[in-house]
């Protein structure tokens, strides 16, 4: 079916009505991103191992499920989806209500988060096609609340097929990128993927997946976690409406039960 | 293939419990067919009608959602009631999904709530060091890949052997009652040492038995060190080709030995550091292997433990110790534990984990295996 042409006014209307921001629940981060993660866009989190990418994913998933009562689809490639951590994040920020209500709430929120393990790129295509079909079916029904798709991590699926002499790997990678963007745009999803870093020239870390991938995400954010401290740095590598290079520092607290605060805090 | 498998006696069959395996969560509905284009094939209608639908261009169920029965009747050259019937069937097959009590938009996906309960019901593999278990949240987790790295002599292999023994602690003692696969790439597995650790483990269990079950009927201590050694499947790997082949084969092997609950690879690094010249190829091969190990862990609900070596890395103007195999590899584990010396005491540090906070704890390597550091050698954590 041919997509109807849209003029600028119609696009603006669509953007205002459907392409809102999903907050992460981390006040500082939402402020830094001017509202959070945008529906219709593909946001990429880049960072070295244990820089907090999965923590941010779990945090955003929890918040979207709670605040917007939205459905979150979490595609996990590293067995690192931790329901325990989600319960912890939700437990910290929920109101101190009576325990029965709290339990019921937690249950309802956590039922909105669906996790699926994916261990190769063809499995990813399968799941995404299925998701596309289901969303098409649901579209008529108009239940358009915040929806989020997370792929943690997309790079570990692409790395095994990328490179070498053939260009098939690159084709698959770009196809995944475009399918994710298509889903984001047509079905009003916010899409969040994670990517790892590789050593570039002079030992400086750069995002993996190379130049062809670089142009695909709308937003690229670099996470960096200083070893032996709680400080986590986030900076913009690419953003459609913000200058790249802008950075903020947070304190990452993997387990902040004692502090009674959300998982990240800004440092001075 | 030079690698061989030690499986001296055929094992007595043990009934394997899939802990709360939730097949029923795979909510029905549309099959996991990726391509929705031709899904009219799955409509329960006659073959001739299906043929007519496809030749008229109605190849997907969605294409039927916006057409009226009159138009469809005209396009297919069938009666209006037949067309109505087709539309009814089509809308039913699409709509049933949403009427489900627990709607799942992806087949095989599980919601976080169910996963939480599943996770809580899983038993962890104790390290026999209460402090280490403490920071690990009870021990090594099943369904996850844990990488353990450290300098030579810190006790990586010791920990590997200990886990291969401890995975066999029976259910009555709070263990998993499973079997172990030990993949040895360096030739560092020592069977005498395994026997020693097994002996100590059984001793501890019987002591625990006497201590806690004085009043109750004593639990029969049927286990002998011999039994423990029999339940360790040992593979000796002499090249990276063999290593890849073995990991590809494990899926089949574990499907036949479903009570395997831990796979130890000692070390995952060795051959990949020796023979490889094309580093880009190495990255590809390693990341594919990592995904296969992830899949094994998830599919069979077992713990994968990868032992890794350390290397010097030049970063930020200084040299620091990191685990070998590079940046891409560092993403291929769920948890990472670094073993290091602090003075003359051994410590373990949680470097990466989605659910555990970073923490460190001392441990020691004794003749009896991995134990708490210093004074509390006798203490073994069973629950």
Domain regions of chain B by residue span: 5-12+113-372, 39-99
If you count residue pairs, one on A and one on B, with CB atoms under 8 Å apart, how many are there? Answer: 181
pLDDT at B356 over 70: yes
pLDDT tens digits along B259-277: 999 999 988 888 888 777 8
A3 or A134, greater pLDDT:
A134
Q: Smallest CA–CA separation between A79 and chain B, in Å?
A: 6
Most confident of A22-26, A89-93, B234-238: B234-238
Closest-CA residue of chain A to B102 = A111
- The owner of tokens 């501890």 is B204
CA angle, corner A156, sides to A151 and A158, nearest 5? 90
Architecture of domain B39-99: Orthogonal Bundle (1.10)
Strand partners, B236: B184
pLDDT at B29 over 80: no
CB–CB of A196 and B356 under 8 A? no
* Residue of A75, A121, A133, A148 for testing the chain B interface, max B β-carbons within 10 Å: A133
pLDDT at A99 over 80: no
- The owner of tokens 């394997």 is B16
CB–CB of B287 and A78 under 8 A? no
Sorting pLDDT into bands at 50, 70 and 90, what band is A224?
confident
pLDDT recorded at residue B247: 93
Q: Smallest CA–CA separation between B141 and chain A, in Å?
A: 11
Q: Is B69 on the interface with A (CB under 8 A)?
A: no
Q: Smallest CA–CA separation between B111 and chain A, in Å?
A: 4
| Average per-residue pLDDT for chain A | 82
Please state, in angstroms and rounded to a whole number, the distance separating the CA atoms of residues B354 and B332.
13
pLDDT recorded at residue B221: 59
Domain A19-266 coded CATH 3.40.50.300: yes
A26: Cβ contacts below 8 Å, ≥ 6 apart: A56, A59, A250, A262, A263, A264
Q: Which residues of B touch A113 (CB under 8 A)?
A: 111-112
Kindly provide the ipTM of the predicted complex, given to two decimals: 0.84
Sorting pLDDT into bands at 50, 70 and 90, what band is B20?
very low
pLDDT tens digits along B197-240: 999 999 888 888 777 765 555 555 567 888 899 999 999 999 88
Give the side-chain half-sphere CA count within 13 A for B185.
Answer: 23
The CATH code of domain B5-12+113-372 reads 3.40.50.300
Closest-CA residue of chain A to B137 = A84
Q: Is A142 on the interface with B (CB under 8 A)?
A: no
Q: Mean pLDDT, to the nearest integer, of A99-113?
A: 84
SS3 A254: coil
Please state, in angstroms and rounded to a whole number, the distance separating the CA atoms of residues B230 and B123.
22
Token readout for A263 is 């998982």
Lowest-confidence region among B87-91, B116-120, B148-152: B87-91
Closest-CA residue of chain A to B317 = A203
Please state, in angstroms and rounded to a whole number, the distance separating the CA atoms of residues B349 and B135.
9
Please state, in angstroms and rounded to a whole number, the distance separating the CA atoms of residues B266 and B354.
24
CB–CB of A81 and B281 under 8 A? no
Maximum C-alpha span of chain B: 88
pLDDT recorded at residue B380: 37
């Amino acid at each position: 079916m041919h997509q109807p042409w849209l003029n600028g006014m119609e696009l603006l209307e669509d953007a205002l009505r459907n392409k809102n921001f999903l907050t992460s629940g981390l006040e500082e981060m939402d402020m830094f991103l001017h509202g959070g993660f945008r529906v219709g866009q593909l946001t990429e989190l880049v960072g070295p191992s244990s820089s907090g990418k999965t923590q941010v994913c779990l945090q955003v998933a929890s918040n979207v499920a709670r605040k917007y009562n939205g459905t979150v689809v979490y595609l996990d490639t590293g067995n690192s989806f931790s329901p325990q951590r989600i319960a912890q994040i939700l437990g910290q920020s929920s109101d101190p209500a009576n325990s029965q209500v709290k339990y019921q709430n937690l249950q309802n929120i956590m039922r909105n988060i669906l996790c699926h393990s994916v261990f190769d790129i063809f499995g990813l295509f399968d799941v995404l096609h299925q998701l596309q079909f289901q969303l098409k079916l649901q579209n008529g029904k108009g239940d358009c609340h915040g929806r989020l798709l997370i792929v943690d991590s997309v790079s570990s699926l692409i790395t095994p097929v990328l490179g070498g002499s053939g260009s098939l790997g690159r084709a698959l990678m770009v196809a995944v990128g475009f399918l994710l963007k298509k889903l984001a745009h047509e079905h009003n999803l916010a899409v969040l993927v994670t990517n790892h870093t590789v050593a570039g020239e002079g030992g400086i870390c750069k995002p993996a997946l190379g130049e062809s991938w670089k142009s695909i995400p709308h937003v690229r954010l670099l996470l960096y976690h200083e070893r032996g401290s709680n400080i986590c740095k986030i900076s913009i590598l690419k953003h459609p409406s913000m200058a790249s290079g802008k950075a903020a520092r947070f304190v990452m607290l993997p387990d902040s039960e004692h502090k009674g605060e959300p998982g990240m805090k800004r440092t001075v | 293939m030079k690698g061989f498998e030690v499986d001296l006696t055929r094992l007595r069959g043990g009934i394997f419990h899939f802990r709360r395996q939730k097949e029923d969560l795979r909510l029905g509905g549309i099959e996991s067919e990726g391509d929705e284009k031709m899904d009219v094939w799955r409509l329960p209608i006659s073959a001739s009608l299906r043929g007519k639908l496809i030749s008229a261009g109605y190849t997907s169920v969605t294409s039927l959602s916006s057409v009226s029965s009159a138009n469809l009747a005209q396009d297919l050259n069938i009666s209006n009631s037949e067309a109505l019937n087709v539309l009814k069937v089509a809308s039913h097959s699409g709509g049933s999904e949403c009427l489900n009590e627990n709607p799942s938009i992806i087949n095989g996906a599980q919601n976080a709530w169910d996963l939480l309960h599943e996770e809580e019901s899983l038993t962890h593999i104790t390290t026999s060091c209460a402090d280490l278990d403490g920071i690990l949240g009870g021990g090594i987790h099943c369904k996850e890949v844990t990488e353990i790295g450290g300098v030579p002599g810190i006790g990586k292999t010791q920990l590997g052997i200990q886990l291969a023994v401890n995975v066999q602690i029976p259910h009555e003692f709070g263990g998993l009652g499973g079997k172990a696969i030990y993949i040895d790439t360096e030739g560092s597995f020592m069977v005498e040492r395994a026997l020693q650790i097994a002996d100590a483990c059984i001793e501890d269990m019987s002591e625990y038995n006497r201590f806690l079950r004085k009043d109750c009927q004593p639990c029969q201590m049927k286990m002998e060190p011999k039994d423990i050694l029999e339940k360790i499947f040992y593979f000796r790997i002499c090249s990276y080709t063999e290593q890849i082949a073995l990991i590809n084969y494990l899926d089949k092997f574990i499907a036949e030995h479903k009570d395997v609950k831990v796979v130890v690879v000692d070390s995952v690094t060795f051959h990949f550091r020796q023979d490889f010249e094309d580093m880009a190829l190495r990255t590809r091969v390693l990341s594919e292997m990592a995904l296969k190990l992830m899949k094994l862990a998830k599919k069979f609900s077992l713990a994968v433990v990868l032992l890794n070596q350390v290397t010097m890395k030049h970063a930020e103007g200084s040299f620091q110790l990191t685990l070998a195999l590079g940046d891409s590899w560092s993403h291929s584990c769920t948890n990472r534990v670094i073993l290091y010396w602090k003075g003359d005491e051994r410590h373990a540090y949680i470097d990466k984990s989605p659910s555990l906070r970073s923490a460190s704890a001392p441990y020691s390597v004794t003749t009896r295996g991995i134990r708490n550091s210093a004074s509390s050698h006798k203490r073994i954590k069973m629950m």
